[in-house]
Amino acid sequence: MTGELSMAIEADFPMYVVADEESGDVLVAAEDVEGFFVDPEEETPEVVFLSAHEVNRGRRRTEDAVLEIVNRRREKIGEYFVGRVVLGDVGIESSDGKISSVPYRFFGNRCEYPGAAKIWRRWASGVAMEKGEWLRWPTSHHGAWLHVVQNAWFTSNRRAARYGVDDVAHLDGAQISTKSGFYCALGEAVNGPGGYFGSNLDALADCISSSFGEGPPVKIVWRNFRVSQESLDRTFMDSVMEVLREFHVNVTIC
């Protein structure tokens, strides 16, 4: 599946579910959303849920809302705590029973990665993740891909640790042109497609130190290492190597 094809996947199921955290009451379940995955400088007062399958008109507000990302099998794969939300004027119900638009005024958190919306749609499709799939997205989406990886990883109740079984993790510096891309590549190398193994230096250290029970990667083979040095900030690269040395991870540079 190419990045372009994955972007074109349409949801025909309620992928976005807003619920009250304490009671679990569902406020709205919809196929799409506008105004949640936005640059912080472009935030608007309302977040609008489109093609809603369910709306709780009797519960117009909550102080502790969570937004869940749900896949085709109705399994929760992502979650955001959003805080206070207030229901606005609900749109018209169509012939298929769906409600065209359900606006909520959001007073709390939103996702600061606009590209995450398309990536979540890909993750929710039910199609198995492929090796190197993150590379098929523009480099401008690497941060969003890493964000989705991290959110989905912990939503599934996995720890910041090694789950893969391979003794050697392979990295290719020719494929790593952004800091987010480095963590995408490392997460996949250690824990398989869509895998997480840190999103910053502190998180990388946590993942390695938490993996000693399972065994940290015995060895990292880093091809085209000089390309990574040229593409990324040298200070960042030095810091990465320092963390790996601190935890005695064997790195072969070639």
Q: Write out pLDDT tens, residues 135-190.
A: 999 999 999 999 999 999 999 999 999 998 888 999 999 999 999 999 999 999 99
Nearest alpha-carbon partner for 190 in 173, 165, 214, 209? 165
Pairwise CA distance, residues 172 & 11, whole Å: 34
Phi, psi (deg, nearest 5) at residue 113 = -110, 95
For residue 214, give the DSSP letter: T
In tens digits, the chain (254 residues) has pLDDT values of 444 444 445 668 999 999 999 999 999 999 999 999 999 888 788 999 999 999 999 999 999 999 999 999 999 999 999 999 999 999 888 878 899 999 999 998 899 999 999 999 999 998 999 999 999 999 999 999 999 999 999 999 999 999 988 889 999 999 999 999 999 999 999 999 999 999 999 999 999 988 765 555 568 999 999 998 899 988 999 999 999 999 889 999 98
Beta-ladder partners of 223: 172
Query: Any idea which fold 162-253 has?
Result: Barnase; Chain D (3.30.370)
What residue ranges do the domains of the chain occupy?
3-117, 162-253
Q: Are 17 and 52 in contact (CB under 8 A)?
A: no
Nearest alpha-carbon partner for 47 in 34, 32, 65, 60? 34
Pairwise CA distance, residues 57 & 66, whole Å: 17
Cα–Cα separations (whole angstroms), residue 134 to 139, 173, 190? 9, 15, 15
Pairwise CA distance, residues 181 & 3, whole Å: 15
